[in-house]
Amino acid sequence: MRHMIFGESHGPAIGVVVEGVPAGLALDLEQVQKELDRRKPGQDPTATARKESDRVEVLSGVFEGKTTGAPLAMVIRNADQHSGDYESIRYTPRPGHGDYAGFIKSQGCLDYRGGGHFSGRLTAPLVAAGAVAKQVLAGWGVWVGAHISSIYGICDASLENTEDLKAVAGKPFPVLDDGKGEEMRQAILEAKEEEDSVGGAIECAVTGLPAGLGAPDFGCNVEGIFSQYLFAVPAVKGVDFGAGVAFSLMRGSEANDPFEVRDGRVVTRTNHAGGVNGGITNGMPVTFEVTIRPTPSIALPQESVDLHTGEEVEIEIKGRHDPCIVPRAVPVIEAAAALAACAVLGI
Cα torsion at 215, 161, 131, 225 (round to 10°)? Answer: -20
To the nearest 10 degrees (0 to 180), the angle between helices 29-39 and 326-345 is 140
C-alpha separations of 243 from 24, 99, 183, 263, 330 in Å? 39, 34, 25, 25, 20
**Which of 110, 193, 189, 184 has the alpha carbon at shortest distance from 152?**
184
What φ, ψ does residue 276 adopt, rounded to 5°? -135, 130
Report the run of H or E that residue 22 belongs to, with start and end. Answer: none
* 285, 273 Cβ separation under 8 angstroms: no
The pLDDT of residue 47 is 66
Q: What percent of the chain has pLDDT over 70?
A: 94
Q: How confident is the model at residue 91 (pLDDT cuts 50, 70, 90)?
A: confident
Specify the 3-state DSSP secondary structure of 249: helix
**CA-CA distance, 183 to 157, in Å (whole number)?**
12
C-alpha separations of 98 from 37, 112, 229, 250 in Å? 26, 10, 18, 37
* 13, 121 Cβ separation under 8 angstroms: no
Specify the 3-state DSSP secondary structure of 77: strand
The pLDDT of residue 53 is 81
Q: What percent of the chain has pLDDT over 90?
A: 77
pLDDT tens string 191-220: 999 999 999 999 999 999 999 999 999 999
The pLDDT of residue 186 is 96
The pLDDT of residue 152 is 97
The pLDDT of residue 50 is 54
Cβ neighbours around 255 below 10 Å, total: 16
* Burial classification of residue 31, based on how many CB atoms lie within 10 Å of its CB (0-12 exposed, 13-18 middle, 19 or more buried): middle
The pLDDT of residue 316 is 86
**Which of 279, 37, 307 has the alpha carbon at shortest distance from 170?**
37
**CA-CA distance, 127 to 47, in Å (whole number)?**
18
Q: How confident is the model at residue 279 (pLDDT cuts 50, 70, 90)?
A: very high
Q: How confident is the model at residue 303 (pLDDT cuts 50, 70, 90)?
A: very high
* Burial classification of residue 26, based on how many CB atoms lie within 10 Å of its CB (0-12 exposed, 13-18 middle, 19 or more buried): exposed
**CA-CA distance, 343 to 38, in Å (whole number)?**
24
**Which of 323, 332, 320, 318 has the alpha carbon at shortest distance from 198?**
323
* 346, 219 Cβ separation under 8 angstroms: no
**Which of 334, 326, 347 has the alpha carbon at shortest distance from 32?**
334
Residue 43 has pLDDT above 70, yes or no: no
The pLDDT of residue 138 is 97
pLDDT tens string 133-165: 999 999 999 999 999 999 999 999 999 999 999
The pLDDT of residue 345 is 98
Average pLDDT of every residue of the chain: 92
User: What one-character-per-residue DSSP string does 187-224 give?
Assistant: HHHHHHHTT----EEEEEEEE-PPTT-B-SSTTT-HHH
Who has greater pLDDT, 113 or 169?
A: 169
The pLDDT of residue 39 is 93
The pLDDT of residue 85 is 61
Taking residues 332-339, report their average pLDDT: 98
The pLDDT of residue 214 is 98
User: What one-character-per-residue DSSP string does 105-146 give?
Assistant: HTTT-S--GGGGGGSGGGHHHHHHHHHHHHHHHHTTT-EEEE
The pLDDT of residue 81 is 56
Who has greater pLDDT, 225 or 99?
A: 225
**CA-CA distance, 97 to 315, in Å (whole number)?**
14
Residue 339 has pLDDT above 60, yes or no: yes
Output DSSP code: residue 260: E
Residue 82 has pLDDT above 60, yes or no: no
